[in-house]
Structure 1
């Protein structure tokens, strides 16, 4: 086995970012030290331990060190946690089994395609973080001619790029359960194409062609415009010729209202749903597993495009969406518009200028809290990719590289987001955060030591409570914002202080079968039963739950009869 990224003994990981129904789940397990015994293997669904008998294979390196391969078959759709125990210690990971990769879009990125970049460590990194969809950013020859005629070429910003490497990475993605998506702007054209077809472009009222950054021309995305068929054919060719399994349909957020070459008004937001439908149909005809994802920059025009036939509602976040609650609101609104996955591209600006260890740690805390908020709100965060990369700019090639010491924490958070996916990415649930607690609401009351206060809207300095209910489950997310601001894209020089001895009092006139809590940074993410008792009062049953402590993020759920 060649050296693996993040291969710190002991360890375990799944070979794929996601598994489809009927596929065997395959894991690699590295024992501690010189241990040569098989681990005690445990499989969980939320807090419930499942019966599992893996098929084992012992592998040996040239130096005599060993590792194990495990295979599990016959699992149904769902989210799972894995633990491998050797003596008193254990390692953990997570995976999900889905009927279709569109069920849960965990979006990552790739942006390095030079002829020297032939290794697949970036793909393995994505798989370990369970990123089941990866956007190939700025892979194309030109914005209006995606596929180059030669193997080696320079991309639009002058980076050396290789089609051979792109094909290798597409193949590696598929091998690791990741759908490769090709970046493709919906309306950007070069000088050459504009000169050939000025009638395809859009203009100001005074007849000036609209341009982006003084080097690309905006094209008319209306159904009647020949550009529409032209760019969709480019998308289709990327799927047919290179093997991509989707298109990331990018926009720039401006302009919104333009004029075509006939001096007729065009509302671009109204044209996008038809373009999305056209593109989706074309790529699925080339490959049934393909799809499209459209960039609603800063939530525009989400009302128009959310219900269009795309795999996820995707929002690139910019000011004035500056607070943690803004992130929650973007996800909440998107889910009301369409029952499909929601992805926020929330670029972590603090990493841009993080040079000292203190600055890097401040950026890391900001990232962990933002990731926690997005997932706790029911969305997914586009931020990880490449080789230990974290996005900090809209030009993905400017990604930052995370510290080696930070990677285990990132893996723990990504494992947690999948292991407990049933608590986050759920259908048929009702968000009662603003109607059950805080203000005049007394159905759920939170308490802790003096100086700790709770909010239902992510107020600065508070413990933020996000609450969802389903027929048989009540889920409470706690996000610790104690002592910090509520602005997500700012460095956090100090981590929120650990809070001890929290209590929840819930008016719930139902039978409770169990109360559980889990956190990404504790006990390998394992769920623990929480102490609780019931009191009968005037209005019915009150369930009192004691929580020993809160670090950054904790999920609590009640299983109901």
Structure 2
């Protein structure tokens, strides 16, 4: 619901080692100790996603923080798809004086296969010894709708640096942007002046800012979605052609209001606009009117689609001619008509609180999306207040929509942000909720605002900021969900396979103070998603008061898994370690009263591990 509120090293010595392999490893650590920062400052690509056969341009920024000049340095680049190397190493030599920085450029031609994620592994070496490493994800997909990574923009002031903002979101691999409150009026998004206008709240909006965002985003292969309500108008709508006969009213049985269904956005504004007034989404007159207005948008600006919004389900309503209805029951027909009316443009829709989401999921929308609030309930009557409730809805929406990945705007640390603006997000809470959504096969709407994160449904509300720790982890999280998109949301289905973690409590339901472990499978893999809730005392995903413990990291623990089919190799990958690289695990096979199992040791669990097992020899 859019509320629109205006407001080092552990050891001192160096051990003498016989093995050259171990010597190489320790030499790497020595170099790390000499450096106050990483040598590889960043690894980025020129676009957020790529079409098959595109040229991927890779940029590696190096800075020498060591005491001496580096000669005989080498950067090696390797392309991986899951556990498999798909391209041979690319190499470049470099030299760097102390304090000097340099960019090295590489190019890689993307394969012909569509909808595949890759991890680019970058290793810095000096005299053949590894001194630093980093990675970056690459999505090769011809459309954003299979693996949506949705972000937003809202600053349309005259001198906004659109290039800087798009580049920041590009480096998170954001592949679609919601243009929030860019329009003139909800029922009349395009005004008479396309150069500058005020939005409903009185904010000046510059047409060139919108045009520049769209142009820069397209250069980065991002989709641009024009935000507007599905069924709302503001003061003055009748003179613009909106008929009162299309209006929606509270029914006599609805104790939440009386008269026309309306929603207060602000106490006062420079424009005098304070309320939204709602219309019957099933009324053909309203449909024809608002669809025509949205097509005017596409004629005026090069948007790629419409992000259509609601304020949720408010109970039984009544039309002007006395017919009663629930708004959520009108979603499917409305959205199918909207998609037909806007032709080849994308359509996304927000059934707020996931109320009526089942009707949106079966419609012709290109992307499924739902703003989640912890006081709303799912179809089983359960609150959306826990980690497990998020997972459950993502899974249910995948089934109802025929395999689409649900985008979840879930505003973290909400009350804390409103009461303490200018403070930082609680980092563990954000990571745990992100891990929950991504592991389940969903996605987040969270990044925009010049690289910052949402904490409120009114997107310009910049209540909380990301610490460097959270920024770094979020970058790795997005690299991870790109690199492993084919294991996260590409046809996987849940299993009920038994998972044991001897020595630790574990559960399939995201309960506090346990390891949350559940399994999925596809044609080639069986997958364990493992999220660490040890030491976490509440399972409230939003952590609205800004408090959430960091999970207790565990190391070298055993897992016993009872697979559906024969397993031939076991791999582990995590956004929390090794820059998301896959590491192979040794395993043994056995059988007991529960059936056949594989047993292996997990090196560590901080927040989220994904363990994937190949059914065929890799």
TM-score of the aligned structures, taking structure 2 as reference length? 0.81
Q: Which residue, 534, 539, 545 being the options, matches 1:486?
A: 539
2:290 is matched with 231
Partners of 1:314 and 1:17 in 2: how far apart? Answer: 20
Partners of 2:47 and 2:74 in 1: how far apart? Answer: 22
Alignment deviations for residues 104-124 of structure 1 (CA, whole Å, 9 cap, x no partner)? 111111111111213321111
1:461 is matched with 513
2:41 is matched with 10
1:538 shift after superposition = 6.3
1:258 is matched with 317
Going from structure 1 to structure 2, the CA distance change for 1:274 and 1:510 (only over 3 Å counts) comes to: closer
Deviates more, 1:373-382 or 1:526-535: 526-535
Going from structure 1 to structure 2, the CA distance change for 1:208 and 1:530 (only over 3 Å counts) comes to: same
1:153 shift after superposition = 1.6
C-alpha contact (below 8 Å) 2:554/2:604 kept by paired residues: yes
1:426 shift after superposition = 1.8
Give runs of aligned pairs for residues 158-197 of structure 1, distance below 5 A. 158-194=202-238, 197=243
1:360 is matched with 424
Give runs of aligned pairs for residues 327-406 of structure 1, distance below 5 A. 327-338=390-401, 339-350=403-414, 352=417, 360=424, 363-399=426-462, 400-406=464-470
May I ask how many residue pairs the two structures share in their alignment?
Answer: 533
C-alpha contact (below 8 Å) 2:247/2:260 kept by paired residues: yes
1:469 shift after superposition = 1.6
Partners of 1:390 and 1:189 in 2: how far apart? Answer: 29
Going from structure 1 to structure 2, the CA distance change for 1:35 and 1:301 (only over 3 Å counts) comes to: farther
C-alpha contact (below 8 Å) 1:12/1:27 kept by paired residues: yes
Say which SS state the counterpart of residue 158 (structure 1) adopts. coil
Say which SS state the counterpart of residue 78 (structure 2) adopts. strand
C-alpha contact (below 8 Å) 1:510/1:541 kept by paired residues: no
Partners of 1:177 and 1:8 in 2: how far apart? Answer: 29
1:503 is matched with 558
| Structure 1 unaligned spans of 5+ | 1-6, 438-443
C-alpha contact (below 8 Å) 1:20/1:101 kept by paired residues: no
Say which SS state the counterpart of residue 157 (structure 2) adopts. coil
Alignment deviations for residues 74-113 of structure 1 (CA, whole Å, 9 cap, x no partner)? 4123110011211121121101111322121111111111
Q: Which residue, 345, 365, 371 being the options, matches 1:316?
A: 371
Say which SS state the counterpart of residue 424 (structure 2) adopts. helix
C-alpha contact (below 8 Å) 2:316/2:324 kept by paired residues: yes
Partners of 2:39 and 2:294 in 1: how far apart? Answer: 40
Deviates more, 1:44-53 or 1:128-137: 44-53
Partners of 1:378 and 1:282 in 2: how far apart? Answer: 30
Say which SS state the counterpart of residue 614 (structure 2) adopts. strand
Partners of 1:203 and 1:275 in 2: how far apart? Answer: 18
1:3 is matched with none
Say which SS state the counterpart of residue 354 (structure 2) adopts. coil
Partners of 1:509 and 1:323 in 2: how far apart? Answer: 29
Partners of 1:313 and 1:57 in 2: how far apart? Answer: 46
Alignment deviations for residues 27-65 of structure 1 (CA, whole Å, 9 cap, x no partner)? 22112327685510111111212224669899x9xx985
1:219 is matched with 279
Alignment deviations for residues 247-296 of structure 1 (CA, whole Å, 9 cap, x no partner)? 11100003343222222223322322222122222333xxx3x3111101
1:4 is matched with none
Partners of 2:482 and 2:419 in 1: how far apart? Answer: 29
| Structure 2 unaligned spans of 5+ | 1-37, 253-257, 265-273, 376-383
Say which SS state the counterpart of residue 408 (structure 2) adopts. strand
Q: Which residue, 343, 351, 354 being the options, matches 1:299?
A: 354
Say which SS state the counterpart of residue 350 (structure 2) adopts. strand
1:356 shift after superposition = 10
Going from structure 1 to structure 2, the CA distance change for 1:471 and 1:254 (only over 3 Å counts) comes to: closer
Deviates more, 1:366-375 or 1:64-73: 64-73
Going from structure 1 to structure 2, the CA distance change for 1:57 and 1:505 (only over 3 Å counts) comes to: closer
Partners of 2:518 and 2:447 in 1: how far apart? Answer: 24
2:103 is matched with 67
C-alpha contact (below 8 Å) 1:341/1:425 kept by paired residues: yes
C-alpha contact (below 8 Å) 1:317/1:345 kept by paired residues: yes
Partners of 2:489 and 2:419 in 1: how far apart? Answer: 32
Alignment deviations for residues 330-357 of structure 1 (CA, whole Å, 9 cap, x no partner)? 1011112112121111111356158699
Alignment deviations for residues 164-215 of structure 1 (CA, whole Å, 9 cap, x no partner)? 1001001111111110111010111112114662112112346822211161
1:163 shift after superposition = 0.9
1:470 shift after superposition = 2.1
Q: Which residue, 12, 20, 41 being the options, matches 2:51?
A: 20
Partners of 1:137 and 1:116 in 2: how far apart? Answer: 18
Partners of 1:539 and 1:41 in 2: how far apart? Answer: 44
Partners of 1:8 and 1:389 in 2: how far apart? Answer: 25
1:120 is matched with 163
C-alpha contact (below 8 Å) 2:76/2:90 kept by paired residues: no
Going from structure 1 to structure 2, the CA distance change for 1:462 and 1:64 (only over 3 Å counts) comes to: closer
**Cα RMSD (Å):** 2.5
Matched, 1:277 2:336: yes
Say which SS state the counterpart of residue 319 (structure 1) adopts. coil
TM-score of the aligned structures, taking structure 1 as reference length? 0.89
C-alpha contact (below 8 Å) 2:313/2:327 kept by paired residues: no
Deviates more, 1:304-313 or 1:201-210: 201-210
Matched, 1:326 2:389: yes
Q: Which residue, 169, 175, 189 being the options, matches 1:146?
A: 189
C-alpha contact (below 8 Å) 1:12/1:28 kept by paired residues: yes
